Structure 1
Amino acid sequence: MRADRLLSLVLLLQSRGRQTAAQLAAEAGVSVRTIYRDIQALGAAGIPVYADPTGYALVDGYRTQLTGLTAAEARGLVLAGLPGVAADLGLAEAVAAAQLKLSAALPDTLRERADRMRQRFHLDAPGWYEDGDSSDHLAAVADAVWRQRVLSVRYDGWTALAEHRLEPYGLVLKAGKWYLVARGERGVRTFRVSQIRELSVLPQTFPWPAGFDLEAHWRTHIADFRSRMHRGEAVIRLAPQAVERLPHLLGRAVAEAAAAGEPQPDGWLLARVPIESDSHAEMQFLRLGDQVEILAPASLRARITATVSTLAAMYGAEG
C-alpha cells in the first residue's frame, strides 16, 4: 500500500510540478507528517526530489517510466470523463489512479491541453428532473459482467416479482438510468438495474457470445422500442404557444409530426401526431392544458373530457 502511495507522489510531482506537503497529503489521503516520511523514503530510494520554502519538486528533466496501468485502472479508463459513473461502478479509485498515470506520461504541452479540457467540459448524464438511478446491486452487476459470471436475480417487472437466471452481457447508461443487457430464459433482454430487488452471483461462468456487439445491440433495441412506442395516432389542434413546448413535454416524434400540420384561420395548428396509447396520451396532452384540443380518436377525447369534468367538480366544490 505504501509503495503505491510513493509511486503516486512521484507521478503527482511529475505531472503537476511543485506541490506543498499539504497538497500532497490531501491527494494521498494521509497526514502531512506521513508525507514528510514518504519524501525521505523517496530520497533514500534515489528519486531526485528536493524541498524548498515553496514545496517539493523533482529535479528538472527527471521522468519516471513507472506508469504501467493495473487491470482495474485499464478497465476504468473508459469512464475517465464520468467520475460519478465510475463511483457507481466501484471504480472511482482506479479511474483516479489511471488519470494520474496518463497525465504523468504525457508531454507538458499535451498535459496542459488535457487539463484544460477537464476544467472546461463536464458531462452530466441524468435529466433535469431526475437524479438518475441508485442501486445497491450496480457494482456487483458490473463485476459479473466483467467476469462473465451468471446471475440469479429477483426482478420487479411490470406486473410482479419474477426470478431470472441471467448471463450478463453488458451495462448501458441511458439518461441517468442503468440497464443490464443479459440472456435469460426468453433470449437477450434488457433489465432496469434499479428494479433488481435481490441478486446472487453464481459460481458458474458463461462463454462470450460470438459476434455480439453491445453498441449495435442497443441501437437495434432503441429502434425497436421507438417503433413499438407510437402505434396509435391522434388528431389535435394546437395553440401557437404550445408548439414550442412540444419537444420538451411530448418528445421529438410528436413535435416533428405537429410541425408538419396545417395552419388554421385562428392561428392554431391542425395535426396528426403519434401516440403510444389512450392512457399515456391522456397524461401527456393534459400537460398542455387549454393549449391543445383532441379531435380524435373519440376514445381519447372521452377520457380527457371525463378527467377534466372530475377536476372541475373537485375544485368547484371548494368555491
Structure 2
Amino acid sequence: MRTIDWRDDHVVVIDQTRLPDDLILLDLHTVADLVDAIRRLAVRGAPALGVAGALGVALAAVVTPHDVPAQAALVRAARPTAVNLAWGVDRALARLGDGLDAVVAEALAVLEADVTVNRALGERGADWLLGRVAGPLNVHTHCNAGALACVEWGTALGVVRALHERGAIGHVYADETRPLLQGARLTVWELGRLGIPHTLVVDSAGASVIANGLVHAVVVGADRIAANGDVVNKIGTYPLALAAARAGIPFVVAAPESTVDMATPSGAAVSIEVRDGAELTEFAGTRVAPAGTAALNYAFDVTPADLVTAIVTEARVVEPSAGGHP
C-alpha cells in the first residue's frame, strides 16, 4: 500500500493521524482537502510532501484549471520548513506552459520516481555503513523516515530495510518523538511489520542509549539540507548528533537529492515551523499542564554540518564533518 497515490483524478493518502490503531485511506478531491491533510500531518515526511506538492498541482489542474498558480501557492505554503513540498510544487508547475495534461504527467513522474530514488538511497546507505562498521548493526533513529514518510520505501528506515534484507541489522532503537509520537506510532509500527527487532525509548533517553554503547550508528532523515551541510530535521535530532559525536559513532542523514537546498546557505536561514502549543499542553484532548501555561513548540531543529558524518542520497555520499559539501 502506498502512503500517497493518484487514483481517478484525485489524491489518496494514508491518514497517519489514525495509526497505529486504524489504517484509513483519505480521498482528497480538492486542493483545500490536501492542504488540510498536510497541515494536520495526515500526510507527512519530506519525500511524501514532495510528492504531495506535485500531486496538489495536478489536482488543481483537474479541479480548477483556470486557477492553477494560485492553488499551487496554497499547497506550497502549507508547511514552511520541508523544502520537498515546494520542490514538488515547482516541478509540476513548471510544465503548465505545456498544458494541463503535462502538469499531471509530471506529477505522476515525481510519484513513481520516489520509489526507485529511495530504494537506491537505502542500498547506498547500507553499503556505506557496512564499509565502516561490521554487521550486524544496532541503529538509533528519530521520528519517522520510513515508508510512511515516502511513497513505498523509506529514507533512514530505507537504509535499515536494506541492512535487514542483507541480514545485517541487529536491533533498532527508536525515539518516541514528542509531542506527536511519530516514532512510537509510526516507526515502531513499520519496524514491527517488517519483522525488525526494535525497542522504543523516550526522546530524553536517546543520548544515554548512545552513551551506553547500545548502538553502532545513528541514522535519521531530513526535511532540508542546506548548502553548507547543515541538516534540518525533526526536533530532537540535534542532541542525538551531539551524543554520537561524543561517542565516536557515525551520525548519518539519509535523504533524497530533492532535500538538498542549494539556495539556502546554512541552517540559520531556514524558517523553523512553530506549531500550536496545545500539542504540548494537551494529550489526546486532555490538558496535562496548568491552564494558561505558555508552550514553545518547535517542530524542527538544525544539526550543524560538523556533526554530520555522512549525508546519503540516491546519487552520492557527502561527508560534511570531514569537509565535504553538498
Give your verdict on TM over 0.5: no
Greater helix share, structure number: 1
The TM-score range, normalised by the shorter chain, is: under 0.3
Greater strand share, structure number: 1
Structure with bigger gyration radius:
1
TM-score, normalized by length of structure 2?
0.27
TM-score, normalized by length of structure 1?
0.27
Higher RCO (CA 8 Å, separation ≥ 6 residues): 2
